[in-house]
Amino acid sequence: MPEASEERCVCTHAMSAHGFRGQPGCTFCSCEQFRRPVVAKQKIELTRLAARAVDLLVHRPEFKKFPKEALELFAVDGRGRVYPANTEVVDRGSSSHVLCVIVSGRVALEGGPNDKPIELGPGEIAGDLRAFSGEERWATVVTLENTELLEVNTANLKDLFSHYPDMFETLAQILSQYNNNADDIVEATLSIALTQFSASVAAEERRSRQGGLDPEKAQAIIARWRELKQEDSEDRARAAARAAIEAQTRAHSRRD
């Protein structure tokens, strides 16, 4: 007799009751072949600011390839906040995991003392890749006027990346525009991959792992990044050598 946990057909009989003697139908009823019951997706309930944030994000070109449900998963655990002008929402040097979706108003992303602030408005995501890795944040997010934000905790995005692994890459591309730091990309990628791997291990006893970021793929990305970084260093060294030779040549030419 099949175990109670065995997968069931639409006819309510177990999978093992189908397919006897080369016939695809069920042994106990007139069911012609095994079919899994359709499980209705539970509607994602969003708060007012989360819903407004999704409505803004769906119009961004970067998210066109994703269904609206993916953006709803991104926003569902977000916390809506309203801030007056000149309020620091994320502090440079903190270990915050928050990314901010601007619903209304404007914010500035302020890096180091020599970095020009980056102004962002409705529908844009403010923050940096260190929100994923837990490293000290490199930029402060400060409001420029009365601003409504949806604060998304990256630690709550495991389900999102499990169902839509490409979403992490898209978010990384958006955030890397603000600070093109390869170290941050590597750290964030590895952090997400390991988080997904840990979550999948817990589910392995019930079913095989599906989706998520593959740790082996993350390691391959990191290895390639190191190669590129080394190549870049060598290129810069060669460029510096050429510049020095040219400078010497010019100096000799002037003396002649």
Per-position pLDDT tens, the chain of length 256: 444 557 888 898 888 888 887 788 898 899 988 888 876 566 788 999 999 999 999 999 999 999 999 999 999 999 999 999 999 999 999 999 999 999 999 999 998 777 889 999 999 999 988 898 878 898 999 999 999 999 999 989 888 887 887 888 888 888 888 876 666 666 666 666 665 555 444 344 333 444 455 556 666 666 665 665 566 666 666 666 666 666 666 655 555 5
* Global pTM value: 0.63
Parts of the chain belonging to CATH 2.60.120.10: 48-203
Q: Identity (one letter) of the amino acid at 83? A: Y
At 36 the pLDDT is 82
At 160 the pLDDT is 87
DSSP state of 143: E
Angle at 129 between CA 197 and CA 48, to 5 degrees: 90
Secondary structure of 73-110 in the HEC alphabet?
Answer: HHHCCCEEEEECCCCEEECCCCCCCEEEEEEECCEEEE
At 73 the pLDDT is 94
Q: Can you list the positions of beta strands (E) in the chain?
A: 79-83, 88-90, 98-104, 107-110, 118-120, 125-126, 140-143, 147-153
Rounded to whole angstroms, the Cα distance separating 145 from 61 reads: 26
At 193 the pLDDT is 63
Residue 137 near residue 130, CB atoms below 8 Å = yes
Helix (H, G, I), strand (E, B) or coil at 207: coil
At 2 the pLDDT is 42
Architecture in CATH for domain 48-203: Sandwich (2.60)
Residue 170 near residue 63, CB atoms below 8 Å = yes
